[in-house]
Structure 1
Amino acid sequence: MTYIVTDACIKCKYTDCVEVCPVDCFYEGENMLVIHPDECIDCGVCEPECPAEAIKADTESNLEKWLELKHQICRYLAKYHDKKRGTSRRG
């Protein structure tokens, strides 16, 4: 299982979820944040922090298209922390 960001995040870009992520698996898209499915450790701390309620477990129904889309997008996006802060928390 992994967590994904759904369309409720489009044009919102709250970062409460990013701040609590222990592995920096958020990436910034053109109009929303995404969680890299290969980097998410399934801890779930981001889900309750999202004011838009856009973060869902990939085990929920009808989210397969979001998981695949996010995986494709993440190959091309800069890390959210690297882009916004100049460095990643991982070093």
Structure 2
Amino acid sequence: MTYVITEGCLDLMDRSCLDQCPVDCIQQGERMLYINPDDCIDCGACESVCPQGAIFFDEELPADRRSFRDINADVFTLGLEPGTDHPLIAARDHRTER
């Protein structure tokens, strides 16, 4: 299992989780952060420091946020350039969607 960053991070990147991650498995896009599920060691350090409550343990993802499991993983499997958002995140309206 792994941790997953959800829409609470969208356009509000605090970045505290980057400093706490002992294995540097978190990557920054333009609009939000993403956790590489292959590198995450399930330590939970990121979850405890996220002021937006945007990070969940995979098995505890609320039903309405489960799509973020694939979004986080896809960022690392689609070969996206560092600093690039997942296409579904990049396409979200900045003003109305969360």
TM-score range, shorter chain: 0.7 to 0.9
Counting matched residue pairs gives 79
Residue of structure 2 equivalent to 1:64: 66
Q: Distance in 2 between matches of 1:77 and 1:59?
A: 28
Runs (4+) off by over 3 Å: none
Q: Distance in 2 between matches of 1:64 and 1:9?
A: 15
Q: Distance in 2 between matches of 1:77 and 1:58?
A: 24
Q: Distance in 1 between matches of 2:67 and 2:47?
A: 19
TM-score computed with the length of structure 2 as normaliser: 0.73
TM-score computed with the length of structure 1 as normaliser: 0.79
Q: Distance in 2 between matches of 1:4 and 1:41?
A: 12
Residue of structure 2 equivalent to 1:21: 21
Q: CA RMSD in A?
A: 1.5
1:2 aligns with 2:6: no
Q: By how many angstroms is 1:76 displaced?
A: 1.4
Q: By how many angstroms is 1:73 displaced?
A: 1.4
